[in-house]
Amino acid sequence: MNWLVPLPVVIPLIAAGLALAMSRRPRVQGAISVAALSLVLAVAVGLIFVTHTQGPQVVNVGGWSAPVGIALVGDRLSVLMLLVSAIVLLCVLLYSLAQGVADGNEGAPVAIYHPTYLVLAAGVANAFLSGDLFNLYVGFEILLAASFVLLTLGGTGERIRAGSIYVIVSLLSSVLFLISIAMIYAATGTLNLAQLSERLLDIDPGVRLVLQVMLLMGFAIKAAVFPLSAWLPDSYPTAPAPVTAVFAGLLTKVGVYAIIRMQTLLFTDGALDMVLMWAALLTMLVGIIGAVAQDDIKRLLSFTLVSHIGYMIFGISLANQTGLSSAIFYVAHHITVQTALFLVAGLIERRGGSTSLEKLGSLGKLAPALAILFFVPAMNLAGIPPMSGFLGKVGLLQAGLELGTPLALATVAGGLLTSLLTLYAVVKAWNKAFWQEAPEELPEGTTPRSMFGPAAVLATLGVLFAVIGGPLYSYTDAAARDLQAQTPYIDSVLVRGDRGEGDSDAAGGDDG
């Protein structure tokens, strides 16, 4: 069944080409995008069954065997990420289609929206499935290039301003990543993740530490880990609501995924675990303090996004199975919840004409359904029991207590404080936007049911994660066990000792 693995990358790319060819027919474009992403979703569901029952699935692109050629690997972690991101991408696409229909075709260059969005989907899938570092870089570049276009869509002054910061910071992180790739290749002579995990053990620990720091810096910028997170609240809030939603949900999580991968597969000696834990603590606290200070819902949500990345990093830095498992659970939960919140922020902007808490008010009377739709994911984000945010946080805190070092305990305390402050921030936003008297009459506006639907689906999904919490946790436990054992991944990529399946016996020189 390993032919399923490349499909999540190939389908959106082909569909992007088709959509670009149909640039004069917005309806056809929409149909193509929906069909492609539904197909990706179906493939992801199929993959999750196959990998769960039969172990990691590997495809050697072009038939070249693993250490030389490009390997695409779907293991439990990457396939779960793929599934969640497929759901989110589809929901956001439906939301933006509905928004396009509701707005009419006024001015915005919609012709490139669908192709770019599909390319973004392909890049995300490529980053998740990639089995070697350079292909991971290519996946990152695909999704970054698409995100640049989406972020500056329409080319208004504000978006160009936000875009320049985002573009430059992203370019810098890519360059850092590329430099570390070059250095890793120079040190080990390979870029295949499975082979690297064996070869990195043989090199000098000092060199290994340098390589780890370099890689971590590149990924931490993308994942918005404090102190490398300052670009995020500056650039996300200005983009159109669906774009911000998909960025907030997916792009930072790709960085987190890369950090999980590198910490579990490449650098297993835990040399930087303390540093990561400090970063996690500071990310949580500084992020949430920023959120408390904001007057604008979108900016507030951007800061909570940064803050909650801290939880995931904490889970990774614990480096035990409970911690990893909860971190994976938390990533899946957070993708849906944060996306839902940004979509709701878009609806609030539509109904109230603004997302500034100083201008909003009385929305509770005007749009009660919207109030509920904001309330549910907001409480989920804050981790109110019995929602999935609570389950994720309990897992993380439990794993922290299990480790029991002073720093871990301090981070547990920081996590609790962050949850409380998140609760404070979102309740403040909820109260101000929905229940205070509006300072001035709100403009007339509507929230089309077709936009409401996808947001509601995502919010429900966040709650549903709590219902299926047991099975989901046993799945993430298995994923974490795989990650720590390493052998399922390495054995499936390098089938015959140091060679994968494939036909490239003539190609030598990988051990130069």
> Which of 310, 294, 504, 329 lies closest to 412, judged by CA?
310
Residue 111, burial from CB neighbour count under 10 angstroms (0-12, 13-18, 19+): middle
Per-position x/- string for 82-121, each x denoting binding to another protein as judged by CB under 8 A, each - no binding: ----------------------------------------
Site residue total, another protein (CB under 8 A): 41
Q: Indicate the residue among 91 and 169 with the shorter CB distance to another protein.
A: 169
b/e per residue 164-175 (b: at least 16 CB within 10 A)? eebbebbeebbe
Determine the 3-state secondary structure of 71 from DSSP.
strand
Alpha-carbon gap, residue 366 to 429, rounded angstroms: 16
Q: What angle do CA 229, 235, 237 make, to 5 degrees?
A: 110
Site for another protein in 227-246 (CB under 8 A): 234
Site for another protein in 47-76 (CB under 8 A): 68
Site for another protein in 116-155 (CB under 8 A): 134, 138, 141, 144-145, 148-149, 152, 155
Rule CB under 8 A: is residue 217 a binding residue for another protein? Answer: no
For 115: left if phi > 0, alpha if psi spans -120 to 50, otherwise beta; the answer is alpha
Neighbours of 27 (CB within 10 A): 11
Rule CB under 8 A: is residue 471 a binding residue for another protein? Answer: no
> Which of 135, 196, 7, 66 lies closest to 493, judged by CA?
66
Which residue from 64, 185, 375, 424 is in contact with another protein, where contact means CB under 8 A? 185
Rule CB under 8 A: is residue 209 a binding residue for another protein? Answer: no
Alpha-carbon gap, residue 306 to 304, rounded angstroms: 5
Which window, 21-29, 173-181, 451-459, 476-484, contacts another protein (CB under 8 A)?
173-181
Which window, 21-29, 120-128, 182-190, 207-215, contacts another protein (CB under 8 A)?
182-190
| In the complex, minimum distance from the CB of residue 75 to another protein, in angstroms, rounded to a whole number | 24
Torsion 488-489-490-491 (CA) sign: positive
> Which of 132, 112, 117 lies closest to 36, judged by CA?
117
Alpha-carbon gap, residue 29 to 412, rounded angstroms: 48
| In the complex, minimum distance from the CB of residue 37 to another protein, in angstroms, rounded to a whole number | 24
| In the complex, minimum distance from the CB of residue 45 to another protein, in angstroms, rounded to a whole number | 32
Q: Indicate the residue among 34 and 183 with the shorter CB distance to another protein.
A: 183
Which residue from 175, 275, 420, 485 is in contact with another protein, where contact means CB under 8 A? 175
> Which of 356, 349, 327, 282 lies closest to 102, judged by CA?
349
Tokens of 297: 């819902």
CB-facing half-sphere around the CA of 144: CA atoms within 13 A: 22
Rule CB under 8 A: is residue 498 a binding residue for another protein? Answer: no
Rule CB under 8 A: is residue 508 a binding residue for another protein? Answer: yes
| In the complex, minimum distance from the CB of residue 506 to another protein, in angstroms, rounded to a whole number | 5
Rule CB under 8 A: is residue 163 a binding residue for another protein? Answer: yes
Rule CB under 8 A: is residue 509 a binding residue for another protein? Answer: yes
Site for another protein in 274-303 (CB under 8 A): 293-294, 296, 299
492 within 8 A of 56, measured Cβ to Cβ: yes
Q: Indicate the residue among 149 and 220 with the shorter CB distance to another protein.
A: 149
Site for another protein in 339-398 (CB under 8 A): none
Q: What angle do CA 122, 128, 129 make, to 5 degrees?
A: 85
Rule CB under 8 A: is residue 203 a binding residue for another protein? Answer: no
| In the complex, minimum distance from the CB of residue 16 to another protein, in angstroms, rounded to a whole number | 15
Which residue from 42, 61, 183, 410 is in contact with another protein, where contact means CB under 8 A? 183
Alpha-carbon gap, residue 83 to 89, rounded angstroms: 10
Which residue from 34, 111, 179, 427 is in contact with another protein, where contact means CB under 8 A? 179
Which parts of this chain interact with another protein (CB under 8 A)?
68, 134, 138, 141, 144-145, 148-149, 152, 155, 157, 160-165, 167-168, 171-172, 175, 178-179, 181-183, 185-186, 191, 234, 293-294, 296, 299, 506-510, 512
